[in-house]
Structure 1
Amino acid sequence: MKPEDVHKSGPILSMNSVEVLYNSVMLAIKGVSIEVPHGGMVALLGSNGAGKSTTLKAISGLLTAERGKVSRGEIRFDGNVIGDSLPQERVELGICHVIEGRRVFEHLTPDENLEAAAPMSLSRGRVASEKARIYDYFPRLGERKTSLAGYLSGGEQQMLAIGRALMTQPRLLMLDEPSLGLAPFLVAEIFEIIKRINRDHGLSVLLVEQNALAALDIVSHGYLIENGRVVMHDTAERLKANSDIQEFYLGGGQARSFHDIKHYRRRKRWLS
Structure 2
Amino acid sequence: MSQTGDTRGTAPVLLRLSNVEVVYDKVFLAIKGVSLEIREGDMVALLGANGAGKSTTLKSVSGLLAPERGEVTRGHIEFAGRDLGTMPAPQRVHLGIAHVLEGRRVFGHLTPEENLIAAYRGRDQRRYLQLRDMVYGYFPRLVERAKSKAGYLSGGEQQMLAIGRALMTEPKLLMLDEPSLGLSPLFVKEIFGIIRTINEKERMSVLLVEQNAVAALNVVQHAYVVDQGRIVMEGSAALLRQNPDIQEFYLGGSHAVDYHNVKHYRRRKRWLA
Residue 267 of structure 2 aligns to which amino acid in structure 1? D
Counterpart for residue 230 of structure 1: 231
* Matched residue SS, 1:135: helix
Residue 24 of structure 2 aligns to which amino acid in structure 1? Y
Deviation track 1:34-60 (CA, whole Å, cap 9, x = no partner) reads 111101000000000000000000000
Assess if the C-alpha contact under 8 Å between 1:13 and 1:77 holds in 2. yes
- Say if 2:91 is the partner of 1:89: yes
1:71 to 54, 70, 73: 73
Cα distance in 1 for residues equivalent to 2:140 and 2:23: 42
Give 1:11 shift: 1.1
Residue 150 of structure 1 aligns to which amino acid in structure 2? G
Q: How many residues align?
A: 260
Cα distance in 1 for residues equivalent to 2:210 and 2:180: 8
* Matched residue SS, 2:214: helix
Percent of paired sites with the same residue: 57
Give 1:9 shift: 3.7
Cα distance in 1 for residues equivalent to 2:151 and 2:160: 13
Residue 44 of structure 1 aligns to which amino acid in structure 2? L
Cα distance in 2 for residues equivalent to 1:162 and 1:265: 35
Where does the alignment leave 5 or more consecutive residues of structure 2 unmatched?
Answer: 1-7
* Matched residue SS, 1:207: strand
Counterpart for residue 270 of structure 1: none
Counterpart for residue 203 of structure 1: 204
When you count helix as a share of all residues, which structure comes out higher?
1
Counterpart for residue 214 of structure 1: 215
- Which range moved further: 49-58 or 128-137? 128-137
Counterpart for residue 251 of structure 2: 250
Give 1:244 shift: 1.0
Residue 269 of structure 2 aligns to which amino acid in structure 1? K
Give 1:114 shift: 0.5
1:113-152 alignment to 2 at 5 Å?
113-119=115-121, 121-152=122-153
Deviation track 1:151-199 (CA, whole Å, cap 9, x = no partner) reads 0000000000000000011000000000000000100000000000011
Residue 70 of structure 1 aligns to which amino acid in structure 2? V
1:149-188 alignment to 2 at 5 Å?
149-188=150-189
Cα distance in 1 for residues equivalent to 2:271 and 2:104: 37
Give 1:262 shift: 2.5
Cα distance in 2 for residues equivalent to 1:133 and 1:197: 10
Give 1:263 shift: 5.3
Cα distance in 2 for residues equivalent to 1:170 and 1:8: 21
The alpha-carbon distance between structure 1 residues 24 and 236, as it changes in their structure 2 partners (threshold 3 A), is: same
Deviation track 1:112-152 (CA, whole Å, cap 9, x = no partner) reads 10011001x24111111211111111111110011100100
- Say if 2:268 is the partner of 1:261: yes
Cα distance in 1 for residues equivalent to 2:271 and 2:9: 44
Residue 246 of structure 1 aligns to which amino acid in structure 2? Q
The alpha-carbon distance between structure 1 residues 170 and 152, as it changes in their structure 2 partners (threshold 3 A), is: same
* TM-score, with structure 1 as normaliser: 0.92
CA RMSD after TM alignment = 1.9
Cα distance in 1 for residues equivalent to 2:50 and 2:272: 22
1:101-116 alignment to 2 at 5 Å?
101-116=103-118
Residue 94 of structure 2 aligns to which amino acid in structure 1? E
Assess if the C-alpha contact under 8 Å between 2:150 and 2:158 holds in 1. yes
Cα distance in 1 for residues equivalent to 2:180 and 2:11: 31
Counterpart for residue 13 of structure 1: 15
Cα distance in 1 for residues equivalent to 2:128 and 2:270: 54
Cα distance in 2 for residues equivalent to 1:90 and 1:54: 16
Cα distance in 2 for residues equivalent to 1:179 and 1:238: 23
- Say if 2:42 is the partner of 1:35: no
Residue 111 of structure 2 aligns to which amino acid in structure 1? T
Residue 109 of structure 1 aligns to which amino acid in structure 2? T
